[in-house]
Amino acid sequence: MDYEQKAQHAVDLLGEKVLVVLAKELDPESKVIELQDYIREETSFIPFFSSKESFDQSTNGKGLGKPLLSIDRRMFIQIVNPEHVFVLDAKCETEMSYTGEELQEIFPEALED
């Protein structure tokens, strides 16, 4: 799949909210959101999901034992590290990997003031 198709895939799947897995519960006194990363084939990645249904499909309905957060897509794009790998809908038919930089290029409006 070329870059344009990959970009369109993200645009087609992602609505105004994305679902992320947190490393730990949010601290109401903090402004930090810690996203959980995982290792697959010796590569670290951060999963994110287009819907609760895709998350349930990915985990066979068992969850991951970590808190989930539905977050505004614009905010998610603002906080991604350009160098990290993000996997959309991991273990689903719609799975696709992106770097943080690619996500920021696909959704540039998130970085505008």
* pLDDT per residue as tens digits for the range 72-85: 999 999 999 999 99
CB 80 within 8 A of CB 99: no
pLDDT, position 65: 86
CB 98 within 8 A of CB 104: no
Q: What b-and-e string marks burial along 43-58, b requiring 16 or more CB atoms within 10 Å of the CB?
A: eebbbbbbbeebbebb
One-letter amino acid at 64 equals: L
Q: Is the pLDDT of residue 108 over 80?
A: yes
pLDDT, position 84: 96
Closest CA to 70 of 85, 55, 81, 57: 55
Torsion of CA 45, 50, 91, 34, to 10 degrees: 30
Q: Is the pLDDT of residue 11 over 70?
A: yes
pLDDT digits (tens, 9 = 90+) for 35-44: 999 999 999 9
By CB atoms closer than 10 A (0-12, 13-18, 19+), residue 35 is buried
pLDDT, position 111: 87
pLDDT digits (tens, 9 = 90+) for 43-101: 999 999 999 999 999 999 888 889 999 999 999 999 999 999 999 999 999 999 999 99
